[in-house]
Structure 1
Amino acid sequence: MAATGSRWLDPGPWALAAWGALVAVTAFPPASLGPLALALPAPLWALAVRCEPRRGFLLGWIQGLGFFGALLWWIAPTVARYGGLPWPAAVGCVALLAAYLALYPGACGWACAAVGRRRPGLALALAPFVWTGLEGVRGWALTGFPWGDVAQALWNQPLALRLAPWVGADGIRLVGVGLAVAPAWLLARGAVSTRALAVPTVAALTWAGLALAPSPLPPADATLRVGVVQGNIDQAQKWDRAYRRVTLDIYERLTLDLVPRRPQLVVWPETAVPLSVQDGGPETSRLLALARRAGVWLLFGAPGYERVDGRVEYRNSVFLVTPEGTWAGRYDKVHLVPFGEYVPFGRYLPFLKKMVEGAGDFSPGPGVRPLSGPGLPTLGPLICFEGIFPGLAARHAEQGARLLVVVTNDAWFGRTPAPYQHLAFAALRAAETGLPLVRAANTGVSAVFDRRGRPLTTTVLGARDAFVAEVELPPPGPTPQAAVRPWISPTSLALAGLTVFAILRGPRRHPRT
């Protein structure tokens, strides 16, 4: 009993949980004190190299629990309100998600402790590669969820955005947490030696070299005037059939208000049109007539469907209409939200209910397909959740997109940090690909970013608004990060794994201190 009591009184785990929560609240949007995120792993590494592997894992898991719980708390009110769950179950959903995501810093703590028993200095030098590799796995495993990555916290830092076209979010993460080795060594040993400064020095030089190097972005060769409409439709009314006409009235009025400012393309948010336009009817005719009347290309989100092998597959889609009022193309969302747009293993878990409205589970589209038309620069659409994945934006760029367009509906999350955290990914996608990015959100935050990830225009969350911005368009083609970024996390993980294996298989060279 005494041992159990002393374990609960140990300040280390509680301090790590508090540190993780503090970084989540202050470093990430809306506070956006991004540089603080660079120090997130330092206390964990410092403690882990001095303990047993099992305790190293526990320390990492506890820090992760505090971090992800504080970062993602907004999921609870969302699933309670729209998922129909009682509050204890809604809080339990956040706890389960945080417990899963915390496994990754837990694994990093285990690796640091396992190597630190034999080579403490090497353990700290290896830690940034372990962290980067595991974060790469987190962004891929179980459909992927890179929310809370260090790079996301640096979305408004010019020096980080200058790295993006060279190495992408994965490279920003690696050099960023590489700097954390110095404070980790100081916390672990009480002083920083020349050896301890090797990794952070290389990280700092790499960062400075890439940030100060001539930009790899080619000069722009055209411009486009883009209008963005933020309808601010209440999620509780969005799918009410009686409210459809009001919704279309709002979007039509805001679009026509933009006409004097001469937009060439007008973008509406995800599922801005809450009906199936493929079925025709007066609402569809009204949309086509609006594009003709305004004389603009119109891109909007709406439910889509496809008949496949005698059955109907429902899609989350965006539709493109020409200024002449004819259909020009459709893009179907490729990366769906688990439990939001489909239920994983739904055949075996019939008691689970997805949050979104609709006739059935959504199916993913056939693949990344940019949209284009005569006189319109090629568009790379990303629907909501897709904007957090760098690979999808890169594939649009490789296929000739000259403008990224993110449409989303963050009304689910109300006035919580979620819309601001979601916005941060847009800056990274623009800076990585070297493409301007237009973001249309139902309730906000809508924005336009230039080719370097800098915001040109942003709206207020929870307001009805519309604006026009002019963006510079580059010639088509990928940036260097498209070739480099996909290898950074796997290479880091392989290097870390092989080193950990070699150290554990070899003789113990240093006694624990």
Structure 2
Amino acid sequence: MKAAATKLQKLIHGWSWGQASWVILSGCLMAIALPPWSLWPLAWVGLVPLWRVVRTTPAIALAAAYGLLWGLVYYGISLAWITHLHPLMWMGVPWLNSVAIALSAWIFIVLWGSVCIAVWGGTVAWLSRRWPGRSLWLVLAGTALWCALEALRNYSPLDWSPLSLTQSPSNLWILHLTRLSGPQILSALLVATNGLLAYALPTPKLHPTHPPTHPPIHSPTLPLALTLILAGHLLGALLYAQTAPIPPGQSLSLGLVQGNVPTREKLTPQGIRQALEGYTEGYQSLVAQGVAAVVTPEGALPQLWNPNSPQMAAMLQTVGEAGVPLWLGTFAPVAGNGRQQYTQSILELRADGQYHGRYDKVQLVPLGEYIPFEALLGRLISRLSPLDSYLVPGQPRQQFATSVGRATVGICYESAYSRLFRRQTQAGGEFIVTASNNDPYPVWMMQQHHGLDVLRAVESDRWAIRVTNTGLSGLVDNHGRTLWLREPQTYLVHRAELERRQTLTPYVRWGDWLTPLLLGLALGWGWWGDRHSPL
């Protein structure tokens, strides 16, 4: 206890509000580079203050604290939309508990991302103190570590705001680099460029015992940073200009229905009737327009799949009469251990009255769709909310084979998980369909979601159709160009023309090969530098 108290005192004593201000500025700059502001050029300089602070902070714990602060600012701003979970009183949750649930969800995911940046900041400080003169290697090591932490976080239940999102949907040239190694290549470019710029600038006196430092007269870091920015955009432009031809007859007409039934209403009998009427009318309208299939959002008909229920029977009768497949967002049962369990699913209904294609949501939302560590948290959550924990995830290697071709599917939150899209595309997915609810979140969350879908379309060289309940529904081509995007909180139907593609980008073929390569180079270069001469 005394040792911990001593460390805390040292941490407090070493804290500098001047340095903290730089870190806060850095977090704010990177946050407003994200949608909806999309000031993407700021991301190429926004990390410079963080780099400068952590590499000049002598105490590792203090540098980690500054990294934590950066994460609290960046993720706190970019994920503030989570608090729109409140109010939940319509679900029987008391007002105070509703506030607690919304704030807890926001704080939890913000802290998760911030802890990763704290690890990065502490590690960079330790490396800088141990090898202070090896600037190029330190930038490489810091870049590799950031990419590794982002990659690991993408295998966790919580992820949303990677650095790559700062460039989407606006900077289309640079987005095309994701075809080489996925979104991590953008994170690597941003972190490395900012690190090189940080080493190129004079470092002011930040500590009483550390005099100001200046870059060497012939420091290569500034030209290298400018070269990275220029070369990255030029290579992206070349990839943007290249379009692999597709065989004739690969165009596809899909219809989408944005039902605009708020969640607090669609779970009531009146809301279910409204959803059934709206999606039935939209389906019939699109069938008359000659579409090959009709797509509905996540949970369009929020009932457990039962072909004998009145609502499902009515929908099946409509599909049987029209003969055009309907991709219905609903809940489908799965075999459980003596307990009713179901998945968030997209089912393809055909004229024979059965569903054929089925996709079950893999990446469930913690606390929203299931309770993580249920043995530990279940009792606590049950005190805050009347919700049960019976949604189960689908299998990671699913394939959604439909009557019009194999589709790569993502349901809502899954848009942040590029690996799920990559697997399906590698297995033959010819186009992307994302089905989302997006209620009760604000428009700027929807814009972030759209940015993630643009990333998924570009990296896999696939057209993507976005179908949502309350917005933003849209159509994105394989170059990330938004061809159609409608306003939120409106009911609409739309006929979209897209291409089916069979190309396999390097990322789809081999995945994120860049992150392990960077880690290997950093370790190898570091070992070689120890045995020979420092940079």
Residue in 2 aligned with 1:450? 477
Separation (CA, whole Å) in 2 of partners of 1:10 and 1:508: 37
1:358 deviation in Å?
7.3
Change over 3 Å in CA distance of 1:274–1:86 after alignment to 2: closer
Q: Kindly provide the amino acid, as one letter, of the partner of residue 142 in structure 2.
A: A
Structure 2 Cα separation of the partners of residues 268 and 423 of structure 1: 17
The answer to whether the Cα contact below 8 Å between 1:408 and 1:442 also exists between their aligned partners in 2 is: yes
Mapping for residues 359-370 of structure 1, pairs under 5 Å? 360-370=389-399
Q: Pairwise mapping of residues 270-419 of structure 1 onto structure 2 (< 5 A)?
A: 270-308=298-336, 310-323=338-351, 325-353=353-381, 360-374=389-403, 376-413=404-441, 415-419=442-446
Picking from 104, 110, 114, the partner of 1:102 is 114
Q: Which amino acid aligns with 2:194?
A: A
- Structure 2: distance between partners of 1:357 and 1:239: 15
Give, in whole Å, the separation in 2 of the partners of 1:360 and 1:54. 38
Deviations 1:348-377 (A, max 9, x none): 322243899976421112343222344x12
Correspondences of 1:451-466 after superposition (within 5 Å): 451-466=478-493
1:50 to 48, 56, 60: 56
CA distance in 1, matches of 2:388, 2:114: 35
Superposed counterparts of 1:16-165, under 5 Å: 16-24=23-31, 26-52=32-58, 53-79=60-86, 81=88, 85-87=97-99, 90-117=102-129, 118-120=131-133, 121=135, 122-140=137-155, 142-145=156-159, 147-156=160-169, 157-165=171-179
For the pair 1:423 / 2:447, whether they are aligned, the reply is: no
**Equivalence map 1:211-250=2 (5 Å):** 211-213=237-239, 215=242, 217-219=244-246, 221=248, 222-250=250-278
Corresponding residue for residue 482 of structure 1 = 508
From the superposition, tell whether residues 490 and 483 of structure 1 become closer, same or farther in structure 2 (CA, over 3 Å): same
Query: Aligned equivalents of 2:35 and 2:439: distance in 1?
Result: 17
Q: 1:389 deviation in Å?
A: 0.9
Equivalent residue for 1:196?
221
How much does 1:202 deviate? 4.7
* Aligned counterparts of 1:7 and 1:264: Cα–Cα separation in 2: 65
The alpha carbon displacement at 1:311 in A equals 4.4
| Equivalent residue number for residue 206 of structure 2 | none
CA distance in 2, matches of 1:312, 1:5: 52
**Partner SS, residue 297 of structure 2:** coil
What are the superposed Cα offsets for residues 257-296 of structure 1, whole Å, 9 maximum, x if unpaired? 3334321111100010111233522211211122234442
SS at match of 1:491: helix
- Alpha-carbon deviation of 1:203? 6.0
Q: Is the 8 A contact 1:398 1:477 kept in 2?
A: no
Cα contact 1:220–1:472 (8 A) shared by 2: no
- Which of 188, 196, 200 aligns to 1:174? It is 188
Deviation for aligned residue 1:418: 1.7
State the match for 2:199 in structure 1: 185
Alignment of 1:209 onto 2:242: no
Which is worse superposed, 216-225 or 433-442? 216-225
Q: What SS does structure 1 have at the residue aligned with 2:176?
A: helix
CA distance in 2, matches of 1:401, 1:432: 13
Which residue number in structure 1 is paired with residue 208 of structure 2? Answer: none
Give the TM-score taking structure 1 as reference length.
0.88
Aligned length: 503
* CA–CA separation in structure 2 for the residues paired with 1:55 and 1:254: 58
**One-letter code of the match for 1:479?**
T
CA drift at 1:172: 2.0
Q: Which moved more, 1:58-67 or 1:193-202?
A: 193-202
Structure 1 pair 357–32 and aligned structure 2 pair: CA distance change class (3 A): farther
Deviates more, 1:191-200 or 1:424-433: 191-200
Tell me, in whole angstroms, the C-alpha distance in 1 between the residues paired with 2:373 and 2:300.
Answer: 29
Instruction: Kindly indicate whether the alpha-carbon contact (under 8 Å) linking 2:443 and 2:488 is maintained by their aligned counterparts in 1.
Output: no
Aligned to 1:10: 17
Take 2:104 and 2:37, find their aligned partners in 1: how far apart are those partners?
Answer: 26
Give 3-state SS (helix, strand or coil) of 2:221's partner. coil
Report the Cα distance in structure 2 between the residues aligned to 1:485 and 1:211, rounded to whole angstroms.
Answer: 21
| CA offset digits 1:385-441 (Å, max 9, x no partner) | 22211111111111111111111111032x252222122111111111111111111
TM-aligned CA distance change 1:216 to 1:493, over 3 Å? farther
Which one is further off, 53-62 or 420-429? 53-62
Deviations 1:85-142 (A, max 9, x none): 35366435423432231122222222222222233413234322222222222222x3
Counterpart CA distance in 2 for 1:352 and 1:184 is: 45
Structure 2, unpaired ranges of 5+? 1-8, 204-213
Amino acid at match of 1:456: L
| 8 Å contact kept, 2:426–2:509 | no
What is the CA RMSD across the aligned residues, in angstroms? 3.1
Q: Is the 8 A contact 1:216 1:479 kept in 2?
A: no
Aligned to 1:463, what secondary structure does the other structure show? coil
Question: Mind listing any 5+ residue stretches in structure 1 that lack a counterpart?
Answer: none
In structure 2, C-alpha distance between the alignment counterparts of 1:359 and 1:464, rounded to whole Å: 31
Q: Counterpart amino acid of 2:370?
A: Y
